[in-house]
Amino acid sequence: MPKEELLISSNSTKVPVIYVLSDSIGETGEAVVKAAASQFDHGLVDIRRAPYLKTIREVEKALTDASEVGAAIVYTLVHQDLKSFLERTAREYGLIHADIMGPVMNALQSVTHISPKNEPGLIRKLDETYFSKVEAIEFAVKYDDGKEPHGVLRADIVVTGISRTSKTPLCMYLAHKGIKAANVPLVPEVNPPEELFKVARKVVGLTIKPSHLFEIRKERLKTMGLSQTDDYANWERILMELDYAASIMRKIGCPVVDVTNRAVEETAAKVLDFYRKGAKKNE
């Protein structure tokens, strides 16, 4: 069992022992013991974790070990049968025992009127969701705007379209849902990367009405302090880019979403719908 010693005040030379019993990893119980121990000065406390307790036999073994060294018990068991056995046996052994999760769960149940799941390890699952989201955001940044085209091979979704069709905001929105999204710009003078055709089933194209794009690009040039006559906001140029993008999307065979007057959330809902349908098709 993992052991850790912490400073704590004591009138005797004997080091007090705290056993942390858990049906998960035991980090919550250990963190609480450390927080409590920080309120004392000098001396030592010996923390011993007994994690992943799944059976009554395992709980009994941990209590026996604790009894042999006169330890106090701190526990975060959520399985009711194991918890009841622990409390009953600890009383029989005369062991001091403190339930960390129980009182808080009871309070939450009282205010929410919802029964707890009593499933060990859920906090780690939440952490995994958080880290998955962070990883997806880092992915979207790394493979934004066609940077490192090989990245599209690792993407969950690949977004393609011409400039100012909201490719980057869409990818960032998807990343916050834990989806790794890369985007590839389509420019008539530059051949799209061959990787784009290799992942055709993951690709979603974005298009937009030319009049709307014309206004967006004019506003963009104004913001940047550039000439309004720049090719970027040229009507013929916009029509040519849209035709070129449409031809590439037809070649890929990907679904296309018109982003005209759509919020990013609306576009994302459409893209996710295509993504899920594609995932089912390939199961």
Residue 105 is predicted with a pLDDT of 84
DSSP state of 201: G
Selection from 42-51, 119-128, 182-191, 224-233 with the highest mean pLDDT: 182-191
User: Is the pLDDT at 268 greater than 70, yes or no?
Assistant: yes
Task: Judge: domain 3-120, CATH 1.10.155.
Answer: no
Sheet harboring 181-185: ordered strands across?
181-185, 157-161, 203-207, 256-258
Residue 11 is predicted with a pLDDT of 45
Residues 171-229: pLDDT tens digits? 999 999 999 999 999 999 999 999 999 999 999 999 999 999 999 998 888 888 887 66
Phi, psi (rounded to 5 degrees) for 243 = -65, -45
Residue 5 is predicted with a pLDDT of 47
Reported as type and span, the H/E element at residue 134 is helix 122-142
Residue 132 is predicted with a pLDDT of 85
Rounded to an integer, the average pLDDT of 43-52 is: 85
Task: Judge: domain 127-281, CATH 3.90.79.
Answer: no
Closest by CA to 49, choosing from 23, 75, 19, is: 19
Residue 160 is predicted with a pLDDT of 97
Residues annotated in a binding site for ADP: 161-168
User: Is the pLDDT at 124 greater than 90, yes or no?
Assistant: no
Tell which wins on pLDDT, 25 or 5.
25
- Domain boundaries for CATH 3.40.50 within the chain: 3-120, 127-281
Tell which wins on pLDDT, 250 or 31.
250
Query: Do the beta carbons of residue 159 and residue 184 sit within 8 Å?
Result: yes
User: Is the pLDDT at 1 greater than 60, yes or no?
Assistant: no
